[in-house]
Amino acid sequence: MIAMLFAALLVAPARAQELPRFDALIDQVKGSPAYQAVRQANPKLMAGDPPVSPAILAALPARNLGHGGKPADPLTVVFLGTAQQIQTALTGAGWTQVPMGDRAAIEKGLEDTFWHHHRPPNLPFHVFYVNGKREDMNWAMAQNLNTRHHFRLWRLPYRDDEGREIWWGSGDYDLKIRLRDFSHVVDPDVNAERLFIRDSLAQSPGVSAMWMKLLPQVKGEMVNNFGYKLRTDGNVLFVGLSTAP
């Protein structure tokens, strides 16, 4: 029976064609025609800086930590709002919240596969930490058992200039499973995944505005806790959430 369930997960139907990914340079050259074209396609993408103080921006951790305290994934996205507002915005954009804990996540994956055939399954997330705390939320958009867009979110003890909660997030794109440790081999270009998250949220009614901000502490090439190489240009997506019900 277990083998049959695993086989069913492997052949779960793929999602619709992915949203286009834009070159990361678009976000660095904000006066360029290319950047303006993206803004026209995504009217929620704002010029200027997000409503977060320079002191808080400088205090945002550059990376989370994996097993044994090893540096893992870099900061790619920050949400501004409540947990409920995050859930509304992301579910409205086609993302699935993956339960915390292995058993709950596996049960949810089986439910999505056998009772909701339009939803590809999501495997459990490895536990990562920011400021000594494990993630508060896991989100994914899966194509099948091997490949998925996903990110983790942590609520930080900060507020933005409008009094909204600040959530630290890291996202990457899983390419395939490495069986020896059941980790996912990830796309080393985390810039592309950050832009996918941005574009997926363009039409979500729960999102009021988005900004791109270059954070010097984030930029660089690195190796995560599983030994996978990653690179980021240091731009971070800030997502302002709507207060409307």
Q: What is the pLDDT of residues 15-38, one digit of tens each?
A: 333 333 434 443 444 455 555 555
Split at pLDDT 50, 70, 90, the class of 99 is confident
Distance CA 215, CA 218 (A): 6
Count CB atoms within 10 A of the CB of residue 146: 15
Question: pTM, whole model, 2 decimals?
Answer: 0.78
Q: Are 26 and 198 in contact (CB under 8 A)?
A: no
Report the pLDDT averaged over residues 183-207. Answer: 90
Report the pLDDT averaged over residues 50-63. Answer: 98
- According to DSSP, the residues that pair with 171 across neighbouring strands are 151
Calculate the average pLDDT of the chain: 79
**pLDDT surpasses 70 at 7:** no
Q: Which of 44-53, 92-101, 103-112, 151-160 is least confident?
A: 103-112
Better-predicted residue by pLDDT, 20 or 59: 59
How far is residue 141 CA from its own chain's centroid? 10
